[in-house]
């Protein structure tokens, strides 16, 4: 079969920039997968995706003009059903063959063409046929239609096409944006496929203003990107265009000097890459007086509204210069630079106005306004929520420090949400907390309170830093606890991929604070202590919330590289002090590497099963009586426990978990000997209960750090 490289491009109106990379990758990968399924593309065919603001494309190597024919074996029916006593075809067999398209004009010949083969207990009739492989013309049509149907389109548009028939009229088409061109080349041959009311050709459109020819003729599938760059002034590859923008940003910053660097923002870089076809980075500036405004405000407005790259100096401070990625490359760029500087100035003026106006009122004067802001119809206003966070923060402050910490935490909690009422946060909600810190400093509240207000949302996302000081840590913990307890208390639980109140993120935040700061707080008690702050607004959801936290913790630990067995062994005990979990995991990993570990884990599992089957009342007050120890193996096990268990328990109490588990490794031989030489369920009741008591005592001693039975495979 003839194999050549295939190029398919769909030319459309400007695609949504935040979805472009995903759309481009999906278009190429899905198209290649569909062609592989049809036998037209090889498993090792190289797929190259193209995505620019006005096109989705794919280049696929080694695509056949026709797929290889396939031999198909079909089981028809048992021989006893398909043939009568004389070996002639039954009506059922002839009907089945006719449905498959076989020639049944001569029944004897039709039967002779069948194959008999064993199928279970009886022989069956099989019909072997040859299926012609798909041609590229028909296969690409099927593949392209399936690909477009599976694209991850964020929002579908409907637009009208004039019908291609004698009668006037319009037909409706649904796609992410109106499509205006289709290009499909197999080598240099056009593949005549049709989608979205378009028929494939060998031309496309280049840059709106800088293309040297229109349309751009593509002679061969392998010439696509070079021809489009030369004649159409378009860099079709998203990855190449992104790399070129990074290079130009670095070069422009170096030209500015002063060790300046453009701000690092991968999402912004992807979005800008999706907005331009031929990137050209230019240096612009604004008046230095705007630098009096907090740099977070200026950076956000330049990034979010204008898609600019602010320049930072060597200390990370914002300069009055910024970089623009233009989509044109004129000989004189002064008009482009001047236009962007004029556009950004009103944005910066708005930010300065908001900042100046907000500072005319103190944060304290805004507290009463929180009573007018609804938080949740079942949980009241932001004012009520603030009061709950204050109560929880004060209690945590007392528990983790002293009266001073508690009072500062309460003060920071009372003011933490007041910046929601400012003009700046109203315009840029992303700055909540950050602006509160600035306004707290302006109000003379001190750096501790200002940092706590700024940090009380932390960690905002995976990998985010925790609060910088103890006050901020307490307020952040109280804030997340209030959200979790409140939402669980009214039944607003996450379901599937829906988590509108970000409860999973809040739970992970609580976990990180408890673990990374090694806070001496009991999880159950922590949740229970927060419940009274809600009065009668919620029901007690302590158990469900704690289970949720442990589920989040288990997932987080597995992502950190701990095995499922290690995590299961430690969390099976539901350790209430989450700060201990890393040390317990390290101890379990160290124990699992010991040669004695497999045997002890298996024995522990056996003990667990024995105790589960025993009468709960019989072992509730289980103890060991020395006089009832009869067999040498049980006497030896008891002696070993008397020598080893106290030392292991002391090491556990001291937090030396690895040493505690290693000490228990010495019990392997006496435990093995016990199960080899002792019948636990003895006929004599007192002896049986004594042995169960011995096993329960051993079980408790072995499972202080983790449930070792979970390590048994």
DSSP secondary structure of 385-400? HHHHHHHHHHHHHHHH
Q: How many whole angstroms separate alpha carbon 314 and alpha carbon 306?
A: 24
**Per-residue pLDDT band at 108 (split at 50, 70, 90):** confident
**DSSP-based three-state secondary structure for 190:** strand
332 has a pLDDT exceeding 80: yes
463 has a pLDDT exceeding 80: yes
**Per-residue pLDDT band at 351 (split at 50, 70, 90):** very high
Q: How many whole angstroms separate alpha carbon 232 and alpha carbon 205?
A: 7
165 has a pLDDT exceeding 80: no
Full DSSP string of 362-377: -HHHHGGGGGGSEEET
HSE-up (13 A, CA, CB side) for residue 172: 4
45 has a pLDDT exceeding 70: yes
589 vs 93 pLDDT, higher one: 589
Q: What is the pLDDT of residue 621?
A: 65
Mean pLDDT (the chain, rounded): 91
Nearest to 177 by CA among 205, 153, 207, 206: 153
Question: Residue 498 has what DSSP assignment?
Answer: B
88 vs 569 pLDDT, higher one: 569
User: Which domains are seen in the chain, by residue range?
Assistant: 3-67+135-232 (3.30.70), 70-131 (no CATH), 238-358 (no CATH), 377-561 (1.10.3210), 584-711 (1.10.730)
SS3 content of the chain, % helix, strand, coil (to 5): 55, 15, 30
Q: What is the pLDDT of residue 247?
A: 97
Q: How many whole angstroms separate alpha carbon 455 and alpha carbon 517?
A: 15
117 has a pLDDT exceeding 80: yes
Of 48-62, 205-219, 304-318, 609-623, least confident by mean pLDDT is 609-623
**Per-residue pLDDT band at 619 (split at 50, 70, 90):** low
**Per-residue pLDDT band at 295 (split at 50, 70, 90):** very high
Q: What is the pLDDT of residue 712?
A: 83
Nearest to 30 by CA among 142, 183, 135: 142
Q: What is the pLDDT of residue 342?
A: 96
Please work out, in degrees rounded to the nearest 5, the angle formed at the alpha carbon of residue 369 by the alpha carbons of 363 and 370. 90
434 close to 450: Cβ distance less than 8 angstroms: no
Q: How many whole angstroms separate alpha carbon 289 and alpha carbon 142?
A: 61
């Amino acid at each position: 079969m003839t194999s050549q490289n295939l190029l398919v491009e769909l030319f459309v109106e400007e695609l949504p920039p935040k979805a472009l990379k995903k759309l481009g990758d999906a278009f190429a990968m899905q198209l290649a997968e569909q062609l592989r399924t049809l036998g037209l593309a090889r498993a090792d065919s190289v797929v190259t995706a193209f995505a620019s603001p006005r096109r989705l494309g794919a280049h696929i190597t080694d695509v056949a003009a026709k797929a290889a024919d396939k031999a198909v074996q079909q089981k028809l029916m048992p021989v006893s059903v398909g043939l009568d006593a004389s070996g002639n075809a039954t009506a059922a067999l002839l009907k089945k063959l006719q449905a498959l398209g076989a020639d049944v004009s001569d029944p004897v010949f039709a039967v002779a063409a069948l194959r008999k083969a064993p199928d279970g207990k009886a022989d069956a009739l099989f019909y072997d046929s040859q299926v012609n492989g798909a041609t590229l013309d028909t296969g690409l049509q099927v593949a392209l239609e399936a690909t477009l149907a599976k694209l991850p389109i964020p929002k579908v548009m409907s637009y009208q096409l004039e019908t291609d028939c004698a009668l006037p009229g319009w037909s409706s088409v649904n796609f992410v944006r109106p499509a205006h061109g289709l290009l499909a080349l197999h080598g240099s041959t056009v593949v005549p496929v049709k989608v979205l009311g378009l028929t494939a050709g060998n031309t496309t459109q280049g840059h709106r203003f800088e293309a040297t020819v229109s349309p751009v003729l593509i002679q061969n599938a392998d010439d696509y990107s070079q021809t489009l760059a030369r004649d159409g002034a378009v860099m079709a590859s998203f990855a190449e265009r992104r790399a070129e923008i990074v290079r130009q940003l670095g070069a422009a910053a170096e030209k500015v000097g002063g060790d300046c660097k453009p701000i690092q923002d991968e999402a912004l870089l992807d979005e800008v890459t999706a907005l331009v076809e031929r990137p050209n980075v230019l240096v612009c500036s604004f008046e230095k007086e705007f630098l009096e405004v907090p740099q977070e405000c200026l950076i956000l407005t330049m990034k979010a509204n204008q898609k600019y790259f602010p320049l930072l100096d060597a200390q990370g401070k914002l300069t009055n210069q910024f970089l623009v990625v233009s989509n044109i490359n004129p000989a004189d760029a002064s008009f482009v630079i001047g236009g962007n500087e004029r556009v950004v100035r009103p944005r910066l003026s708005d930010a300065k106005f908001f900042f100046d106006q907000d500072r005319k009122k103190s944060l304290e004067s805004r507290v009463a306004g929180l009573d007018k802001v609804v938080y949740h119809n079942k949980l009241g206003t932001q004012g009520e929520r603030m009061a709950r966070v204050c109560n929880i923060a004060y209690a945590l402050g007392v528990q983790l420090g002293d009266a001073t910490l508690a009072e500062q935490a309460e003060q920071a909690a009372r003011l933490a949400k007041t910046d929601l009422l400012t003009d700046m946060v109203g315009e840029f909600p992303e700055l909540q907390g950050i602006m509160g810190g600035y306004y707290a400093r302006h109000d003379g509240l001190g750096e501790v309170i200002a940092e706590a207000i700024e940090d009380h949302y932390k960690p905002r996302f995976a990998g985010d830093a925790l609060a910088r000081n103890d006050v901020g840590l307490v307020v952040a913990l109280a804030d997340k606890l209030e959200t979790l307890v409140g939402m669980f208390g009214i039944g607003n639980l996450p379901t599937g991929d829906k988590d509108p109140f970000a409860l999973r993120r809040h739970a992970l935040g609580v976990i990180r604070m408890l673990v990374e700061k090694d806070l001496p707080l009991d999880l159950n008690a922590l949740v229970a202590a927060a419940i009274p702050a809600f009065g009668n607004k919620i029901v007690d959801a302590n158990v469900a919330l704690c289970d949720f936290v442990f589920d989040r913790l288990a997932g987080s630990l597995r992502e950190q590289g701990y095995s499922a067995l290690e995590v299961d062994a430690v969390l099976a005990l539901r350790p209430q002090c989450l700060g201990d979990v890393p040390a317990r995991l390290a101890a379990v990993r160290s124990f699992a590497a010991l040669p004695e570990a497999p045997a002890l884990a298996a024995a522990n599992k056996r003990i667990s099963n024995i105790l589960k089957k025993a009468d709960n009342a019989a072992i509730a007050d289980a103890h060991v009586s020395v006089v009832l120890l009869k067999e040498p193996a049980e006497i030896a096990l008891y002696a070993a426990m008397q020598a080893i268990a106290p030392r292991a328990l002391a090491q556990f109490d001291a937090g030396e978990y690895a040493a505690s588990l290693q000490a228990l490794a010495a019990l392997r031989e006496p435990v093995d000997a016990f199960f080899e030489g002792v019948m636990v369920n003895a006929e004599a009741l007192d002896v049986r209960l004594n042995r169960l008591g011995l096993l329960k005592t051993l079980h408790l001693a072995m499972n202080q750090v983790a449930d070792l039975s979970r390590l048994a495979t």
